[in-house]
Amino acid sequence: MSIKKILTELSPEEIVEAYVLPVEMTKAESAAADDELAAARAKRRAQQTFEQKAYERIMLLITRLDDYVHSPDYLPELNFGYVLKEYLELQNKKQNEFAREIDINAGVINQYIHHHRIPNESMFIRFEIHSRNLISAVQLHKLVEKEKQYQISNDIDLRKREAQHVSKTLILAGI
């Protein structure tokens, strides 16, 4: 909508409610406004409870997980173990405590975190239930599958080893 159309079709009150009009500020005014905003944010953070802070951080983790799962990029450091470790740290929870809460061996949790074991469907579901469905089992599965896809696509040694087991390939005209 053009400015002329806005000014003719909307009342001044509607304009104020619907739009933030740009304001010219000097560098000093801009710095003062930035400082004021930073102080307000710091005050708000100081007033937050541990649960509120943990919720915000978990939501950031979920957003990062969702963005990554839907992106074409592969980041080896963003794996199931990383997500699990972050989840535990956000709650100040020890691996043993979490293991008891989801009825799994603590050693298995450690193996997931250190990327020595691939999680199964029951782990995804228990994780989802523990997070009160904030972290989806399907998203966790997609995360693990993304890593597997990368490995299959880029493991040249595996391809060479497996090629030895193929005695004949598809024959097509023109190829």
Using the Cα atoms of residue 134, residue 54, residue 57 and residue 41 in order, give the sign of their dihedral: positive
**28-42 per-position pLDDT tens digit:** 888 888 899 899 898
> pLDDT at position 95, please?
97
8 by Cβ neighbours in 10 Å (0-12 / 13-18 / 19+) ranks as exposed
Give me the pLDDT at residue 13, please: 78
Q: Is the pLDDT of residue 175 over 90?
A: no
Residue closest to 142 by CA, chosen among 129, 156, 128, 155? 128
Residue 3: band (very low, low, confident or very high) from pLDDT cuts 50, 70, 90: confident
CA distance 38 to 40: 5
In the chain, count of helices (H) and strands (E)?
10, 0
The domains found in the chain, sorted by start residue, are 50-148 (1.10.260.40)
Angle at 21 between CA 19 and CA 24, to 5 degrees: 165
- On whether the pTM is more than 0.75, the answer is no
Specify the pLDDT at position 93: 94
pLDDT at 116 over 90: yes
